[in-house]
């Protein structure tokens, strides 16, 4: 096995997620929402791979489909060389101790009827056969890592602030010591003053526990700070992927260029030209032919309207789906 293959933890191949549209008394399927369309990417060990794009572009659906929280319509997901799509429910349950999900909204993801001890010990009870002493040791260790104290174990979610709730959500995801985590916009529901604390905590834990992370966000400044590589999504498809600094410094896809032009600069002397996209995002229930972005692209040609571009390497480890590149 080559060194590159040994470093590969997650391999997503041609992932598709369609949601049926049902109408009438008999709930007949009359169409499908193309939420994710032919998405492929890889995540290496100890790497942070970010998925970015506008709201509704399919980022969260992609993250959920990777772990089969939503069943994919098509494609394959390989984790440590094993095809997750082919696993039975019981085999997948055993795998979940090594793959976890941090949800966007801690107010909804934490059971209000369970205290912190129950929330953190439950994953250990499900996946491991531990004594009470071992349970308390593992929970205590995780509390220390997230900056909380044992006297808070008997408290319920409503007794904590939003930032503390998200710390508990992160602890619950990491307490089984997974090697891979999907974090779905983990700070978007928090106040700006709390976001930096949670992001710093996540990066400390990622390095300390040597996690591989798929970080889903629409905040391009956060993504640049946190990620090693980035994938830009539009209308359920990947437009561009590559090393984060390469993509930010030298974006080649027109959509990536438009997204980055809208990022505010912290330098008052820096003036960037904003790229204004015309029109609206197409309906995912009736996606356009050819390139998904051609209806809003100033560089569109007849080929773009007819032929769907594939992700191709335009520089080392830098890929773009554009006929004009």
CATH of residue 223's domain is 3.40.50.300
Residues 6+ away with beta carbon under 8 Å from 306: 289, 290
Distances (CA, A) of 30 to 26, 72, 74: 11, 19, 19
Q: Give a yes or no: residue 305 inside a domain.
A: yes
- The residue-averaged pLDDT of 267-282 equals 75
Range of the domain at 10: 3-313
Per residue in 306-320, pLDDT (tens digit) is 999 999 999 999 999
Q: Residue 206: is its pLDDT beyond 90? A: yes
What pLDDT does residue 196 have?
87
Rounded CA separation 36/166 (Å): 27
Residue 325 placed within a domain: no
Alpha-carbon distance 283 to 33, whole Å?
Answer: 8
Quick one: pLDDT at residue 274?
Answer: 79
Which residue in 205, 136, 204 sits closest to 177, CA to CA? Answer: 205
pLDDT tens track for 152-193:
999 999 999 989 999 999 999 999 999 999 999 998 878 888
The Cα–Cα gap between 143 and 150 comes to 7
The domain total for the chain is 1
Q: Does the reported pTM lie above 0.75?
A: yes
pLDDT at 3: 44
Q: What is the pLDDT, as a whole number, of residue 20?
A: 95
Q: How confident is the model at residue 267 (pLDDT cuts 50, 70, 90)?
A: low
Q: Is 307 exposed, middle or buried (0-12, 13-18, 19+ CB in 10 A)?
A: middle
Asked whether residue 289 is domain-assigned, the answer is yes
In a domain, 212, yes or no: yes
Q: Classify residue 324: in a domain, yes or no.
A: no
**204-136-91-11 Cα dihedral, nearest 10 degrees:** 0
DSSP sequence for 264-314: PPS-TT------PPPS-PPPTTSPPSS-TTGGG-TT--HHHHHSPPPPEEE
User: What's the mean pLDDT in 89-104?
Assistant: 92
| Helix (H) / strand (E) containing 25 | none
Q: What is the mean pLDDT of residues 4-8?
A: 74
Q: What is the mean pLDDT of residues 54-66?
A: 94
Residue whose structure tokens are 């571009």:
309
pLDDT value of position 269: 62
Q: Which residue has the tokens 């561009």?
A: 240
Average pLDDT, the chain: 91
Is residue 265 scored above 80 in pLDDT?
no
Residue 43 lies in a domain: yes
pLDDT digits (tens, 9 = 90+) for 216-236: 998 898 899 899 999 999 999
Q: Answer whether residue 320 is part of any domain.
A: no
Q: Nearest 5°: phi and psi at 34?
A: -85, 80
- 212 pLDDT band, cuts 50/70/90, is very high
User: Is residue 150 one of the residues assigned to a domain?
Assistant: yes
Least confident of 129-143, 207-221, 271-285: 271-285
pLDDT at 1: 39
- Percent residues over pLDDT 70 in the chain: 96
Tokens of 215: 């970080």
| Whether 305 contacts 290, CB under 8 Å | yes
**Spatial separation of the C-alpha atoms in residues 70 and 108, rounded to whole Å:** 18
Q: How far apart are CA 76 and CA 80, in angstroms?
A: 13
């Amino acid at each position: 096995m080559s060194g590159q293959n040994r470093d590969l933890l997650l391999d997503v191949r041609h992932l598709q997620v369609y949601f049926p549209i049902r109408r009438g008394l008999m709930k007949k399927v009359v169409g499908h929402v193309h939420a994710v369309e032919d998405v492929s990417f890889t995540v290496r060990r100890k790497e942070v791979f970010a998925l970015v794009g506008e709201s509704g572009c399919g980022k969260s659906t992609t993250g959920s489909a990777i772990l089969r929280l939503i069943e994919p319509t098509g494609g394959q997901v390989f984790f440590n060389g094993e095809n997750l799509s082919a696993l039975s429910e019981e085999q997948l349950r055993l795998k979940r101790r090594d793959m976890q999900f941090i949800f966007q909204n801690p107010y909804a993801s934490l059971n209000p009827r369970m205290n912190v001890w129950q929330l953190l010990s439950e994953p250990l009870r499900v996946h491991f056969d531990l004594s009470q002493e071992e349970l308390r040791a593992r929970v205590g260790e995780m509390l220390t890592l997230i900056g909380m104290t044992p006297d808070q174990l008997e408290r319920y979610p409503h007794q904590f602030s939003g930032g503390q709730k998200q710390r508990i959500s992160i602890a619950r995801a990491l307490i089984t010591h997974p090697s891979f985590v999907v974090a779905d916009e983990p700070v978007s529901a928090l106040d700006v003053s709390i976001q930096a604390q949670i992001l710093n905590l996540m990066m400390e834990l990622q390095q300390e526990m040597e996690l591989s992370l798929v970080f889903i966000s629409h905040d391009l400044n956060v993504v640049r700070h946190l990620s090693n590589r980035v994938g830009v999504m539009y209308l359920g498809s990947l437009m561009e992927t590559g090393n984060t600094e390469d993509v930010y410094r030298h974006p080649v896809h027109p959509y990536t260029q438009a997204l980055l032009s809208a990022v505010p600069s912290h330098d008052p002397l820096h003036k960037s030209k904003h790229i204004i996209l015309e029109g609206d995002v197409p309906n995912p229930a009736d996606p356009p032919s050819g390139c998904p972005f051609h209806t809003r692209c100033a560089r569109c040609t007849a080929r773009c309207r007819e032929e769907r571009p594939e992700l191709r390497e335009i520089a080392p480890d830098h890929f773009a789906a554009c006929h004009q590149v």
